[in-house]
Homo-oligomer: A and B are copies of this chain.
Amino acid sequence: MSRFYRKRNKAAGLPPGTPIYIGSGEDLPARITIIDYGPDDFQQKEAACAEDCFFYKDTPTVTWINIDGLRDVSLIEKIGKAFHLHPLVQEDIVNTYQRPKLEDYRDYFFIVLKMLEYDEEKQHLGAEQVSLILGPNYVISFQEKIGDIFDPVRNRIKEAKGRIREKGADYLAYSLIDAVVDNYFTILEKLGDRIEGMEEELTSNPHEELLHRIYGSKRELIFLRKSVWPLREVVNLLQRGESPLVSESTGIYFRDAYDHTIQVIDTVETFRDMVSGVMDIYLSIISNRMNEVMKVLTIIATIFIPISFIAGIYGMNFSHMPELTWRWGYPAVWLLIIAIIVGMVVFFRRKKWI
């Protein structure tokens, strides 16, 4: 449940801008990786301490500093100080219950993204916060856990694949955001399979368990939606290219990422429509089943109750019941019973119940 709302500083009452780690990341020491590159240079190293990064702030080459693990708040504060990050930015980096957003601090952009993971067993979406600082010639990325989502970008830089080595920090930021968005499509595919499974079950034999799966899908879609809608605004701001931090030629790439974001949103909305369609059909099928059950009951009861009554009549012990002694009394009763059965069957046929 807690993933649905922002956690407050437990030690409420602290002044705003006081960074305190709030999240569910594992308690590991932070890992700092520095990648520094230009069209012809490439250098990658692990930093032992925060101070190792400061040097790269003013180099003309593009520098990507990646920090995995946010529990060491003092580290974040040191980096924040060196790169002149606003105290509120430092606070938001370590409070991992932010919604995706872009904040323009003139000298740098502060971007918050949500990386999603789909736990197929529990059919549950988890979110990890990824924060980016996009400066004139550096990008700092903060992740809660050590992940592999940025590996393809790292490889592209290393192997100088595509245009990434010739482009600036804005293109690097684009590559990272694109990797996150790309990941959403994987999740959508899995959710799509799940919905397809529900659709198929509808036509075979729907059980009450389907109901809980429908509700589960709804929840995950609500959660997904919460992460994706604000992203649209983030990428839109980047695409518009009104800041000197994003060059015009990179703006075209952000436009592409924007297009992808819209596709993600579109698909989420489509899935919502479909899930609610599945729900409606499920309910109708239940109604139909009930109807069928009732019909069987009614047909049986309506045929047998009257004829049982007739049998009951001639089970009475009155001394004076002339029919009982008639020679053809018994066969006549059978005839009557058969007539009633036939009449009822005709009646139900007319009503199209059988």
Contacts and interface: CB of A to CB of B under 8 A. Distances in A.
Interface of A: 1-2, 4-8, 12-18, 86-88, 92, 98-99, 101, 103, 105, 151-152, 155-156, 161-164, 175, 178, 182, 185-186, 188-189, 192-193, 195-196, 202-203, 205, 208, 211-212, 214-215, 218-219, 222, 226, 252-253, 255-256, 259-260, 262-263, 266-267, 270-271, 273-274, 277-298, 300-302, 304-309, 311-321, 323-327, 329-330, 333, 351-353
Nearest to A276: B280
Contacts of A253: 16, 88
29 contacts: A1-B196, A4-B267, A4-B270, A4-B271, A5-B263, A6-B185, A6-B263, A8-B182, A13-B152, A14-B162, A99-B263, A99-B266, A208-B288, A211-B284, A215-B278, A215-B281, A218-B277, A222-B270, A279-B284, A291-B293, A293-B295, A294-B294, A294-B298, A301-B301, A301-B305, A305-B305, A312-B312, A314-B316, A315-B315
Nearest to A99: B263
A263 B151 CA distance: 31
A316 B311 contact: yes
Given A5-B267, A99-B259, A330 B353 contact: no
Given A8-B186, A286-B291, A317-B317, 17 more contacts: A1-B192, A4-B271, A5-B263, A12-B152, A17-B162, A105-B252, A202-B215, A205-B352, A215-B277, A226-B266, A279-B284, A283-B287, A294-B294, A296-B298, A300-B306, A317-B324, A320-B330
Contact of A316 (B161, B292, B315): B315
A201 to B, nearest CB: 13
B5 A162 contact: no
B330 A316 contact: yes
A281 B215 CA distance: 7
A195 B215 CA distance: 14
A18 to B, nearest CB: 7
Interface of A is mostly: helix
B101 A259 contact: yes
A101 B98 CA distance: 25
A258 B313 CA distance: 78
Which 7 pairs from chain A and chain B are nearest by CB? Answer: A15-B162, A13-B152, A311-B312, A314-B316, A297-B298, A315-B315, A318-B330
A164 to B, nearest CB: 6
A202 B16 CA distance: 40
A315 B311 contact: yes
B16 A256 contact: yes
Of A6, A279, A294, A333, most buried by chain B (CB within 10 Å of CB) is: A6
A311 B304 CA distance: 12
Nearest to A101: B259
A23 to B, nearest CB: 15
Contacts of A256: 16, 88, 92
Contacts of A290: 287, 290-291, 294
Contacts of A263: 5-6, 99
